[in-house]
Amino acid sequence: MEFLLSYGWAIVVVISAIAALAYFGVPLTPSGFAAQYFPEQCTIDSGLACMDHSVRYNQAGFNTLDLKIKNNVGYDIIVSTITLPDFGNRLDNIDQTVANGNWIEIPTVMDMTNAASSGSLLQKGSSYEINFILIVKNSQSGLEHEFHGVIKGKVN
């Protein structure tokens, strides 16, 4: 009985602390916390490196995504397609050759309506997490490879 009484008070204190944090507006979810307090992030599968990215708001009815990707695969590649599965968008026929060790800037102007927010645009200052798939071809063999990536940050 003594065990339950002493640890019961500790549980009450922890629950009270969490309630106080929520009351004062501290984000309690990992994604909300990370988006508010940590810098932008861009990751992609091994072999390619995400050098930089930007998502900008455009009042003409779309958002603009820019990606800078470095080729570290070990051979020259041809970037052919980028897909944003969360938004249902796909940009084909990029067809730019990137030598091993070099980088490419992929400007992508798409109707990136946020499906999770009932089709609204990503507004300036809002946080985002965008999954993307980059399809590249080995310039020598012609075989295609998929690279999956994620970018996180705030809309410029």
pLDDT digits (tens, 9 = 90+) for 41-75: 899 999 999 999 988 877 776 778 889 999 999 99
Amino acid at 64: T
Q: Is the model more confident about 16 or about 6?
A: 16
pLDDT of residue 70: 96
Residues pairing with 150 in the sheet = 43, 131
pLDDT of residue 118: 47
Range of weakest confidence among 77-86, 123-132, 134-143: 123-132
pLDDT of residue 27: 65
| E strands in 1-156 | 41-44, 48-58, 62-71, 77-84, 89-91, 96-98, 103-110, 113-114, 120-121, 127-138, 144-154
pTM of the model: 0.69
Mean pLDDT of 69-86: 92
Range of weakest confidence among 9-18, 83-92, 136-145: 83-92
Percent of the chain with pLDDT over 70: 80
